[in-house]
Structure 1
Amino acid sequence: MRVARVLVPLAVAGMVLAGCGDRTAGGATWSAPSAPAGNGVADLTADEILAKATAALDKAGSFQIKGQAREDGTTMSVDLKVQGKDLVGTIDMGSSTIQTLLVGGQPYFKADEAFWKENGGPQGAGLAQLVGDRWVKVSPKDEDFANVFKLGDPDEILKPDGKVSKGASTSIDAGPVITLIDKSDQSKLYVATTGEPYPLLTEDPDKQGKLVFSGFGDSFPEIKKPDAQDVIDFSKL
């Protein structure tokens, strides 16, 4: 559940592609509904709680993830909206930004000028000018890009790096939770103990990396196929 493990593939995939051719979640708050009765997950084992949280996120059908991680001195942040198997998101890597979009199984990405210049080699400036503000269409079979879109899969998002243990019951901004601890790195996942057992927050031990989950069941109209004139095929770069 280490936050950097979730975010790093986004940055790495973007760099591989380029070579071929409130953003801080720490203070995020939202209003929880009036307190319903306990949902019983606090009495379950760690593995059972994790399974319940994963199933609840999948059942919600849509959700939003917003947060940040620090890796090798670089702070990355993400704002990702998932609806069914589709998603749209923005990844900020400090000096450059990538937008990602998956609609009907077709992946796209859009990078700013700084990204192309930093990662496109001698042709970076030319690529930035060629692509402009258009979406880059990528083959669904492109394995370099595949990891980006695994972030829409609840099983992948909540997958621990090691064995999970059960921690204390506590409260966060979103309400009462039970804590799950990944023994491999001591990162934490907080699962709601009232209402649906949604995962509400993941947190690295040093609290430098956090992912906030919200928007369960929301509709995201911005997840839509871009117009043809706004798309360029990656194979043509």
Structure 2
Amino acid sequence: MTLLPPVSRARRAGPVSRARRAALCVALCAGLTTGLASCGEDPDKGTNGIGKLSATEIESRAREAADAATAVRLSGTLVSKGGTYRLNMRLKQDGGTGSVTSKEDTFELLRVGDDLFIKADAAFWTHQGDGKPGEPPSRTDAEAAGKLDNKYVKVPQGDPAYKQFRGFTEMDVLLDGLLGMQGDLSKGDRTKVGGIRAIKVKAEDGDGGVLDVSLEGEPYPLQFARAGGAGVLTLGEWGLDFALAAPSKAETVDYGRQLPTSSD
């Protein structure tokens, strides 16, 4: 009787192993849902296509989109030589409104054209110091501060505080000053900001700033981590108009002296 050669375990297991490998591949492909396309799918499918561009081109397109926008909401933390500020501002070309919080103060700003108003509680209007040279300008006493509590005060254009406070309401100035990248640019990961697909652009591998640019619709900046840990800002509601109007006389009082500047 002729005996057939035994079938090796490896040969017997071959079809099963191939089936298992195929199933594993399918499972891995299905699990790669981090916002990046996988297993041959086009990662730019359904996007505005800027993910195919170089980092420099993406950053340039984001700036062009921001420059052309008519309005934006900007919020987050800003660290500067003057201190640390938390911003929540809605801005457009002819004005802005929102709040600014520093270490010592919280106040609201409203600008309509060239008319700038500040609104704060009584604590904002009280301050140590008597206005001597080299010292901060004096704020007012408790009684007068009570009259200013949560009222709008119009900031005279000749007041030293006008330029500082207006800067928080200038859309173009604020964006140009805050969105600066420092160093060579490179493309980072695909991500999401507020549910919107985005791609990161990094300067000096992140040390010079990280900009998240929208992959949906216009390539607007959606988030920016400033160089050197100088704050993280979120940008949204691009092009969404909002009403701006000067406060009524009943909401407004006259400070009658030099306004205090914000301090940290």
TM-score (norm 1): 0.68
Of 193, 202, 212, the residue aligned with 1:181 is: 202
Which residue of 2 is the match for residue 82 of structure 1? 91
C-alpha contact 2:75 2:234 (8 A) present in aligned 1: yes
Q: Give, in angstroms, the shift of residue 199 of structure 1.
A: 0.5
Partner SS, residue 156 of structure 2: coil
Q: Within 5 Å, which residues of 2 pair with 1:8-47?
A: 37-47=46-56
Indicate whether 1:190 and 2:199 are aligned: no
Q: Report the CA distance shift for 1:154/1:194 in structure 2 as closer, same or farther (over 3 A).
A: farther
Q: 1:231 aligns with which of 247, 252, 257?
A: 252
Gaps of 5+ in 2: 1-43, 129-136, 259-264
Distance apart, 1:110 and its partner CA:
1.4
- Higher RCO structure (Cα 8 Å, ≥6 apart): 1
Please name the residue that 2:262 is paired with: none
Residue-by-residue CA offset, 1:152-194 (whole Å, 9 max, x unaligned):
5464255416335123131123333222234494321111122
Is 195-204 or 144-153 further displaced after alignment? 144-153
In structure 1, the partner of 2:148 is 131
Distance 1:125 1:199 in 2: 44
Cα distance change, pair 84–65 in 1 and its aligned pair in 2 (3 A): same
Aligned to 1:149: 169
Overall identity of the aligned pairs, in %: 23
Does the 8 Å contact 2:202/2:210 carry over to 1? Answer: yes
Letter in structure 2 aligned against 1:195: G
1:201 matched to 2:210? The reply is: no
Equivalent residue, structure 2, for 1:55: 64
- For residues 60 and 120 of structure 2, the distance between their equivalents in structure 1, rounded to whole angstroms, comes to 36
1:110-146: CA deviation from partner (whole Å, max 9, x where unpaired): 1222222246646353552342322121234643434
- Normalising by structure 2, we get a TM-score of 0.62
**Distance change (3 Å), C-alpha of 1:45 and 1:234:** farther
The offset of 1:226, in angstroms, is 0.8
Partner in structure 1 of residue 190 of structure 2: 170
Deviates more, 1:60-69 or 1:188-197: 60-69
Q: Which amino acid in the other structure matches residue 209 of structure 2?
A: S
Gaps spanning 5+ residues in structure 1: where? 1-34
Aligned equivalents of 1:154 and 1:47: distance in 2? Answer: 21
TM-align CA RMSD: 3.3
